[in-house]
Amino acid sequence: MALLRATSIQRKLTLVIMLVTTLALLVAAAQFVINDVRDYRRRVVDDLAILTRILGQNVTPTLEFDDPKVAEQILASFQAKPHILAAAVYARDGKLFARYNPPDRPGAEVPATAPAEERRFSRGRVFLCFPILKGPDRLGSIYLDFDLVEVWLRVGKNCVIIAAMLAISALVALFAATRLQRFITRPILDLANLANAVSEKHDYSVRAAKHTEDEIGFLIDCFNGMLGQMEKHEKILREVNQQLARSEQRAQAATEAKSQFLANMSHELRTPLNAIIGYSEMVEEELEEQGHRQLVPDLQKIHAAAKHQLGLINDILDLSKIEAGKMTLFLEVFDLAATVHEVVNTIQPLVSKNGNHLELDCPANLGMIRSDQTKVRQVLFNLLSNAAKFTEKGTIRLHVSRAPRTQDQNLGAGSQNPGAGAAGNGEHQPGLTDDLLRADGQIVFTVTDTGIGMSPGQLGRLFQAFTQAEAATTRKYGGTGLGLAISKKFCQTMGGDLTATSELGKGSVFTVTLPANTTEPFRGARGGMLTVPTALTAETRASGSAILVIDDEPAARDLVQRALTKQGYQVETAASGPEGLARARQLLPAAITLDVMMAGMDGWAVLSALKADPATADIPVIMLTVVDDKNLGFALGAADFLIKPIDWDRLTSVLEKLRRKRVSPQVLIIEDEPETRELLRRAVEKQGWQVVEAENGRVGLERVAAQVPGLILLDLLMPEMDGFAFMEELRRRPNGGHVPVIVVTAKDLTDEDRRRLNGHVIQILQKGGHSTQELVDEIYRLLASATDLAKDI
């Protein structure tokens, strides 16, 4: 059935025509045959009846004269007619008088007495019986048994002929059908093909050709009509899309214009106020000086009003920005505790003004967080100043803590869940790196006051813009009514939230939660997909010996190890300074990566020790720190380190190695201590090199810009621009990237020095040190150049 459904209409139509034709032919044939047979039979029987009657008359005398023998002779003339099975004459009394059976065949039995005078059809035979009459007298009857086989033979013959005729007719019909069906199907097929083409090419401009005025023609008209509609719709759609694009452009332009307006207004609105604030301050100062104290309060009122207005403008502009979706986050890594203390110090006068007492509960090891420092300050300031304003002779308590990440945090915009985080499972030695950036967790600030509190109704309206507790509140307490709305929006933008509880007359509690690591979606490769400049690895890998990784942070150790192993290096690790030193002496590795921020014996101390020991002094050391295994690291891109007091032999050997490399004959010495600089200059010049000097990083950069030296001797701790900043900047310049830098640093670092060094590292991290990707690239590069340098001796 499915097959039938799937055949082409051409075939179907042909099939239908054939079916109908054949059916018609069959019916006609059947009727003809039936009619013919009936006709024939009647004739045969009629002929037979006449024959029988004639013979009946012929046997009349035999009956009169009772001569059966002659009757039989006469009956014998039935021989001439084939298919007569039996014949008989019966006398008047019904008794059998004479009989006949065909001579060459069995024939049939005749009835013993005369049967009824009738024509009877039975068993494929016809039985005739007629009376024999002479005038009015009935002398007897004559009986005949005839086989109608003849008729059936004729039927058979007819059927064969008919079948043959049918076949021929069918063939002719098929031929005609196949040809003629095209008139019907061709337009339909054409339409179908056209529809297919339109559907595939989406070209609505085509039209079907109409050849007939029948239903197909009508269908074609409708189809063309539809195409026309689609064409029209498509045009409209195109136009609408164009309009939308234009509208979007206009909307975009409008938004930009609005932002521009905001920015301009911001400046325009503040400028006159600055003048009012400034001059009123100034006049106040002048008056105080000249002793006209009585005018001062009036000026202070002007001053206060202007400041208030400035606050309003700032708040309104902030809110507009937030609402325009234009509030951007400036994310940086900063010391949370320091910021908290800053705000507390700033708010202290306001707190004291109402006789309040501020308690600060802020642990010292809060560490660094990555967030928008300005906004965090603003929110804290807002909450504390509210607390101070609405509390009199009471207590305000600020509690800051770090908490592990909760599910809710993932819902905020701008917060990232780096999954594995600091990969620490099992042992986790706390170190400075640990504090620096914990990938998970959130910060919670709680500001509690014993002030006037709020009713449930007031609490409900709390974060709405321009709704202070009630109208009277603004008059009594001042403020703009925008602060909390803005603070809450800030918190939410940073991926956290601001909530409040309160009891009327007893006090209020405001709670801020912020993610500790607010980040943009991570754009670089995720951990594990570390690519490497392949050109560098072949050589260094071929050196065969191991790289020693010294780091007290398991996660960092793991990261560096994995990265190096992946590229075919053999890696050994050490988890502390002393262990690192021991292994270094043991292994004499091809290079050492050394964590700057280690607890106990820190990186600088290890470095000093390594360089002081002749056995390990020549091993290239890469100072780095990996802060978070996804985000930040820092590498001090030094080719080598010299520890003060300088081992001149070492310096000489380094210079020798470089000379062979045919670098520029100039050495740039960047050192702020004139005496040290002088010493270095003499030592270097003695080896036949040219010397250029710089007393700090900035000057050093200028020198490099003027002419790229073959080597840089760099002191780390300098004013203005120190060694770290210099390195960062140098590597960024196209011609500075390949100059070998030898870092000169003191052997015995004071705590102050250490703090400064580590502070510099943090500073660089704060500015956004290398991502993991960049860090690993840097390690390879340093390894390559360091081992390269070490090779030729």
Name the minimum Å distance from CB 414 to other proteins.
16
Q: Where does this chain touch other proteins (CB under 8 A) — which range of 14-22, 195-203, 278-286, 651-659?
A: 278-286
Name the minimum Å distance from CB 349 to other proteins.
12
Contacts (Cβ under 8 Å, ≥6 apart) of 397: 358, 359, 360, 361, 446, 447, 448, 449
Whether 372 contacts 407, CB under 8 Å: no
* Distance (Å, whole) CA 6 – CA 12: 10
Q: What is the CA radius of gyration of the chain?
A: 59
Sole binder of other proteins in the list 21, 181, 185, 373 (CB under 8 A)? 373
Sole binder of other proteins in the list 39, 46, 248, 285 (CB under 8 A)? 285
- In the window 450-489, what residues touch other proteins (CB under 8 A)? none
Question: Which DSSP string corresponds to 28-94?
Answer: HHHHHHHHHHHHHHHHHHHHHHHHHHHHHHHTHHHHHTT-HHHHHHHHHGGGGSTTEEEEEEE-TTS
With CA atoms as reference, report the closest residue to 390 among 464, 313, 468, 444: 468
Sole binder of other proteins in the list 275, 304, 538, 612 (CB under 8 A)? 275
Name the minimum Å distance from CB 718 to other proteins.
6
Torsion sign over Cα 525, 529, 535, 541: positive
Rule CB under 8 A: is residue 310 a binding residue for other proteins? yes
In terms of CB distance, is 275 or 413 closer to other proteins?
275
Rule CB under 8 A: is residue 718 a binding residue for other proteins? yes
Sole binder of other proteins in the list 279, 463, 522, 648 (CB under 8 A)? 279
Name the minimum Å distance from CB 671 to other proteins.
10
Rule CB under 8 A: is residue 540 a binding residue for other proteins? no
Sole binder of other proteins in the list 214, 298, 503, 702 (CB under 8 A)? 702
Name the minimum Å distance from CB 572 to other proteins.
37
Rule CB under 8 A: is residue 698 a binding residue for other proteins? yes
Sole binder of other proteins in the list 19, 50, 236, 282 (CB under 8 A)? 282
Rule CB under 8 A: is residue 299 a binding residue for other proteins? no
In terms of CB distance, is 267 or 662 closer to other proteins?
267
Contacts (Cβ under 8 Å, ≥6 apart) of 29: 162, 165, 166
Rule CB under 8 A: is residue 281 a binding residue for other proteins? yes
Name the minimum Å distance from CB 526 to other proteins.
28
Rule CB under 8 A: is residue 289 a binding residue for other proteins? yes
Name the minimum Å distance from CB 777 to other proteins.
24
Name the minimum Å distance from CB 505 to other proteins.
37
Residue type, 53: R
Name the minimum Å distance from CB 643 to other proteins.
17
Sole binder of other proteins in the list 575, 591, 717, 784 (CB under 8 A)? 717
Rule CB under 8 A: is residue 380 a binding residue for other proteins? no
Q: Where does this chain touch other proteins (CB under 8 A) — which range of 266-274, 520-528, 573-581, 607-615?
A: 266-274
Binding residues for other proteins, how many (CB under 8 A)? Answer: 26
Sole binder of other proteins in the list 65, 93, 199, 330 (CB under 8 A)? 330
Name the minimum Å distance from CB 749 to other proteins.
13
Alpha-carbon distances of 22 from 15, 28, 155, 171, rounded to whole Å: 10, 10, 20, 10
Angle at the Cα of 375 from the Cα atoms of 374 and 381, rounded to 5 degrees: 90
Name the minimum Å distance from CB 250 to other proteins.
29
Residue type, 551: D
* Distance (Å, whole) CA 685 – CA 349: 60
Site map (CB under 8 A) of other proteins, residues 411-450, x = contact: ----------------------------------------
In terms of CB distance, is 187 or 697 closer to other proteins?
697
In terms of CB distance, is 210 or 270 closer to other proteins?
270
CA end-to-end span of the chain: 91
Rule CB under 8 A: is residue 719 a binding residue for other proteins? yes
- How, if at all, do strands 395-403 and 497-503 pair? unpaired
Question: Which DSSP string corresponds to 340-387?
Answer: HHHHHHHHHHHHHHTT-EEEEE--GGG-EEEE-HHHHHHHHHHHHHHH
CA 175 to chain centre: 61
SS (H, E, C) 753-784: HHHHHHHHHHHHHHCCCECHHHHHHHHHHHHH
Torsion sign over Cα 91, 97, 101, 106: positive
Name the minimum Å distance from CB 330 to other proteins.
5
CA 710 to chain centre: 50
Q: Where does this chain touch other proteins (CB under 8 A) — which range of 186-194, 277-285, 559-567, 620-628?
A: 277-285
Name the minimum Å distance from CB 739 to other proteins.
21
Rule CB under 8 A: is residue 491 a binding residue for other proteins? no
In terms of CB distance, is 34 or 282 closer to other proteins?
282
* Distance (Å, whole) CA 268 – CA 256: 18
Rule CB under 8 A: is residue 339 a binding residue for other proteins? no
Torsion sign over Cα 332, 338, 341, 347: negative
Name the minimum Å distance from CB 557 to other proteins.
33
- How, if at all, do strands 332-335 and 368-371 pair? antiparallel
Rule CB under 8 A: is residue 264 a binding residue for other proteins? no
Q: Where does this chain touch other proteins (CB under 8 A) — which range of 153-161, 241-249, 267-275, 737-745?
A: 267-275
In terms of CB distance, is 640 or 722 closer to other proteins?
722
For 246-315, where are the E strands, in sequence order? Answer: none
Contacts (Cβ under 8 Å, ≥6 apart) of 493: 322, 327, 329, 375, 413, 414
CB-facing half-sphere around the CA of 444: CA atoms within 13 A: 16
Q: Where does this chain touch other proteins (CB under 8 A) — which range of 116-124, 269-277, 360-368, 658-666?
A: 269-277
Helix (H) or strand (E) holding 573: strand 571-574
Report the side by side order of strands in the sheet with 84-90: 96-100, 84-90, 137-147, 125-134, 119-122
Whether 696 contacts 670, CB under 8 Å: yes
- In the window 661-680, what residues touch other proteins (CB under 8 A)? 672-673
Name the minimum Å distance from CB 485 to other proteins.
20
With CA atoms as reference, report the closest residue to 713 among 781, 650, 771, 776: 650
- How, if at all, do strands 84-90 and 137-147 pair? antiparallel
Sole binder of other proteins in the list 66, 103, 116, 271 (CB under 8 A)? 271
Rule CB under 8 A: is residue 290 a binding residue for other proteins? no
In terms of CB distance, is 553 or 722 closer to other proteins?
722
Sole binder of other proteins in the list 5, 69, 202, 267 (CB under 8 A)? 267
Site map (CB under 8 A) of other proteins, residues 129-148, x = contact: --------------------
Report residue 549 as tokens: 């990784």
In terms of CB distance, is 556 or 718 closer to other proteins?
718
Taking residue 700's Cβ as centre, other Cβ atoms within 10 Å add up to: 28
Interface residues toward other proteins, by CB under 8 A? 267, 270-271, 273-275, 277-279, 281-282, 285-286, 289, 310, 330, 332, 373-374, 672-673, 698, 702, 717-719
